[in-house]
Amino acid sequence: PKFVYDFREGNRDLKDLLGGKGANLAEMTNLGLPVPPGFTITTEACRTFLESGEEPPALRDEVSAHLAALESEMGKRLGQADDPLLVSVRSGAKFSMPGMMDTVLNIGLSDASVAGLAAQAGDERFAWDSYRRLIQMFGKTVLDIDGDLFEEALEEVKRAKKAATDVELGADDLKKLVKRYKKIVADGAGREFPQDPREQMDLAVKAVFASWNGDRAKLYRRQERIPHDLGTAVTICSMVFGNLGPDSGTGVAFTRDPASGHQGVYGDYLQNAQGEDVVAGIRNTVALADLESVDKASYEQLMEIMATLENHYLDLCDIEFTIERGKLWMLQTRVGKRTAGAAFRIATQLVDQGLIDEAEALQRVNGAQLAQLMFPRFDEDATVEMIGRGIAASPGAAVGRAVFDSYTAIKWSRSGEKVILIRRETNPDDLDGMIAAEGILTSRGGKTSHAAVVARGMGKTCVCGAEELEVDTKQRRLTMAGGRVVEEGDTVSIDGSSGKVYLGEVPVVPSPVVEYFEGRMHAGADEADELVAAVHRIMAYADRVRRLRVRANADNAEDALRARRFGAQGIGLCRTEHMFLGERREMVEKLILADTDSEREQALKALLPLQKKDFVELFEAMDGLPVTVRLLDPPLHEFLPDITELSVRVALAESREDPNENDLRLLQAVHRLHEQNPMLGLRGVRLGLVIPGLFTMQVRAIAEAVAERKATKGDPRAEIMIPLVGTVQELEIVKDEAEQVISEVEAATGASLKLSLGTMIELPRAALTAGQIAEAAEFFSFGTNDLTQTVWGFSRDDVEASFFTAYLEKGIFGVSPFETIDRDGVGKLVADAVKAGRATRPELKLGVCGEHGGDPESVHFFHDVGLDYVSCSPFRIPVARLEAARAAA
């Protein structure tokens, strides 16, 4: 295979091979934009290197050929003493992993060529600054030397010179610094800093390859669900310099505001600076708009290029650029990350501009973003003290205790504490802490700083660049403008949508998007809501194209009504056990304790009218839409007191010689019903088969409720569902009994009830014998919670807290199978059961009511296997509607 592509040979569709950066540099080159010449080494070369520890043998020659071509194009050789060609060696994977992998700039500088560069640029300071940066980056990333050593040396030289920033250092200071850096390298790496430019380049390429498997990168991939086997490409690009004086600089730009979606000029610019300076938030940047007064020509050219890119990519693009002595160069572009709100707005704006159609708009947003928009926000009327304001970098309302380092953030969050990570600026080493925190607050850096970019990617609340707050990580405190301090452990609240920082806990209120779904706010009522208007439109597109219907898991009229407002098309799961809580628990207790038939019948008789009332209310709330009522599922012991507590009570009473008759009976019952493995015990259909009258009471309550609703001109559409069935025989017995009861009620009321009877498929045996089960079932609802539990043999109540973290860390799975359906295992059973069920009964209705019904990725799977509906909790209904549409589009 071909391992190296000139920028002119690639295009944006080659991201798998050239990484996002390489592919987009190629695309820009071919668009005729000013991109410094260069070439890209493929991800395939990286994969070979990672697998075998060796670069593919052909790589060296290919690189030599491309380097030779680059040298002849540029008219100078890499590291040529009197006029060196310098290159950057940058990582770039298919998916953007900001700051997670390595980059080395200024490759080609050496003791020999630094003078040549100085002469060519007419600027000695610049040449030595570039050289010290090379040694620093190379030392840290290629030779694995602690980066702080370089930082400390730099700080010392600055202190000696009383220089506030590195710009104030002169050539002689930088020469001294280079000397110190070289010693740090020699001491730390046991070798001299390599003077051979090609050796520098080859080592840097290998280091970039290896950085794919660095801890930071691995953690980031797990977090973002990026596969671990992709590898990174490496782009080698001729250097242009933003640090050649005041007419040079480097910046980052967005074609639209990544927070609001508004079109305009957004970005940061830093004069006389190189590469990572802007993103690292080291010096404070100026707004991009100010570039106009600094360098009008470059500014205008940049605006033109940004328009070209938007029209070409048909989306928000972000850009890195450098101006070298008044000449503009594009160093990177990509379709930019954005906040959830901006994603919705931009999608509809692009439709209005005629750039994309509705189907494409649906692909520009996703359910996770919609879920984010449904989070509560801070109450604007709260009277909590505001102590500062930074840049609204990533929206959300976060409250937690102040911590000043990642280690504490992780430690405290493990013990259940909510924390806000406060740093002067973050760097990739803070990633663990950022994940652990509720939100991130920095005192430096702009919208494109590391903290902002990473937080946005994770959907985490972030306020950055709150400059009036002085962060002292050593003393673990933050000092406000007036001199007051916030200590570690104090509660702070940060608003990632406004940038406001508060001392204390700010109460939260529902999001406007939820208010909209609730019907308390109308699209376009006022400007609050561009966002709501955008959501409204996208949901309308979604409902037009989706095939899957969306139902709710709801057990009471209140939830049912909310679900309806959120767009539910019925109830897919009413768990009747939820109707036996509170005061009614005692009635169930009586049922369990019943010694005689008549005692049992009495207990059931007492429950019947209560159940019936529940159902009448539910059918009324969901009038005209299907409601699947599931008969009692959990083991009965769940309705009895805790065995230990009860034993203690009985023992105490005995010691006082005052035994309580009822407690004694209860304890006997608890012992009788005690199971080692209740999840695999007396529950679901098994209960119905061994507790006479239980299921028939529930069926009667449903049937009578339907009859009552019909009598008052309602339109009840009840479906009766039997849980935990493993064989068709179980279902047949329950079904016969149920039909008997239904016809009794029909005879008594004279109504035709049209009740359908179906089953959950939540045991492997049920899935495997779905063809037989479909003979007795009018519908299947996949109970993927229990199915996942039984297919994997994982206890759904225990594993997430016990060994799942280890499994996730080892990469055994990227996400819990209880969260996202395991396509290969559980999913295969579902797919096969769908086929077998439909083969027996073509009109079989099929749905899912496990937690997966509201999980974006799983919804796509259920669409693919041809279910009729998904059912999920009311709050996830909008997400399911949107994802069902994205799956269909």
Active site residues: 450, 849
Residue 880 CB, nearest approach to ligand PEP (Å)? 15
Residue 768 CB, nearest approach to Mg ion (Å)? 17
Contact 693, 608 (CB under 8 A): no
Please tell me whether residue 783 binds Mg ion under the rule CB under 5 A: yes
Query: What ranges in 138-268 are assigned the alpha helix state H?
Result: 147-161, 171-189, 197-211, 215-224
Q: Is 785 annotated as ligand-binding?
A: yes
Binding mask 769-788 for ligand PEP (x = CB under 6 A): --------------xxxx--
Binding range to Mg ion, per CB under 5 A, among 173-181, 234-242, 437-445, 780-788? 780-788
- Residue 123's binding partner among ligand PEP, Mg ion, none (Cβ under 5 to 8 angstroms by kind) is none
Number of residues that bind ligand PEP (CB under 6 A): 10
Kindly tell me which of 392 and 573 has the beta carbon lying closer to ligand PEP: 573
Residue 851 CB, nearest approach to ligand PEP (Å)? 7
Kindly tell me which of 343 and 721 has the beta carbon lying closer to Mg ion: 721
Binding mask 731-770 for Mg ion (x = CB under 5 A): -------------------------------x--------
- For residue 756, what are the contacts with CB-CB under 8 A and spacing of at least 6? 718, 719, 720, 778, 779, 845
Kindly tell me which of 679 and 808 has the beta carbon lying closer to ligand PEP: 679
- Residue 575's binding partner among ligand PEP, Mg ion, none (Cβ under 5 to 8 angstroms by kind) is ligand PEP
Kindly report the backbone phi and psi dihedral angles of residue 402, in degrees, each rounded to the nearest multiple of 5, phi listed first.
-65, 130
Cα-Cα end-to-end distance for the chain: 35
**β-bridge mates for residue 780, sequence order:** 759, 846
Q: CB neighbours (10 Å) of residue 302?
A: 24
Contact 397, 580 (CB under 8 A): no
Q: Is 60 annotated as ligand-binding?
A: no
Kindly tell me which of 318 and 786 has the beta carbon lying closer to ligand PEP: 786
Q: CB neighbours (10 Å) of residue 747?
A: 9
Residue 147 CB, nearest approach to Mg ion (Å)? 52
Distance CA 612, CA 598 (A): 21
Binding mask 815-854 for ligand PEP (x = CB under 6 A): ----------------------------------xx----
Kindly tell me which of 208 and 826 has the beta carbon lying closer to ligand PEP: 826
Looking only at the bridges linking them, the beta strands covering 869-872 and 845-848 are parallel
Q: Is the dihedral of CA 96, 97, 99, 104 positive or negative?
A: negative
Contact 542, 881 (CB under 8 A): yes
- Residue 332's binding partner among ligand PEP, Mg ion, none (Cβ under 5 to 8 angstroms by kind) is none
**β-bridge mates for residue 869, sequence order:** 549, 847
Read off the DSSP letter of residue 497: T
Kindly report the backbone phi and psi dihedral angles of residue 55, in degrees, each rounded to the nearest multiple of 5, phi listed first.
-75, 155
In the region spanning residues 373 to 392, those forming contacts with Mg ion, defined by CB under 5 A, are: none
Kindly tell me which of 422 and 687 has the beta carbon lying closer to ligand PEP: 687
Distance CA 143, CA 199 (A): 13
- Residue 213's binding partner among Mg ion, ligand PEP, none (Cβ under 5 to 8 angstroms by kind) is none
Binding mask 612-651 for ligand PEP (x = CB under 6 A): ---------------------x------------------
Distance CA 697, CA 862 (A): 34
Q: Could you tell me which of 532, 602, 518 has the C-alpha nearest to residue 563? A: 518
Binding range to Mg ion, per CB under 5 A, among 111-119, 268-276, 516-524, 784-792? 784-792
Q: 183, 389, 575, 823: which one contacts ligand PEP (CB under 6 A)?
A: 575
- Residue 719's binding partner among Mg ion, ligand PEP, none (Cβ under 5 to 8 angstroms by kind) is none
Residue positions counted in the chain: 889
Distance CA 678, CA 670 (A): 12
Q: Is 749 annotated as ligand-binding?
A: no
Residue 635 CB, nearest approach to Mg ion (Å)? 12
- Residue 878's binding partner among ligand PEP, Mg ion, none (Cβ under 5 to 8 angstroms by kind) is none
Q: Could you tell me which of 857, 856, 853, 846 has the C-alpha nearest to residue 872? A: 853
- Residue 784's binding partner among Mg ion, ligand PEP, none (Cβ under 5 to 8 angstroms by kind) is ligand PEP
Residue 381 vs residues 509, 511, 815: alpha-carbon distances, Å: 10, 14, 39
- Residue 107's H or E segment, with its range, is strand 103-107
Distance CA 281, CA 154 (A): 17
Token digits for 284? 């404070």
At residue 98's C-alpha, the angle toward residues 94 and 103, to 5°, is 90
Please tell me whether residue 758 binds ligand PEP under the rule CB under 6 A: no
- Residue 341's binding partner among Mg ion, ligand PEP, none (Cβ under 5 to 8 angstroms by kind) is none
Minimal CB distance residue for Mg ion: 786
Point out the annotated binding site for substrate: 575, 630, 762, 783-786
Point out the annotated binding site for Mg(2+): 762, 786
Binding-site ranges for Mg ion (CB under 5 A):
762, 783, 786
Binding-site ranges for ligand PEP (CB under 6 A):
573, 575, 633, 762, 783-786, 849-850
Point out the annotated binding site: 575, 630, 762, 783-786
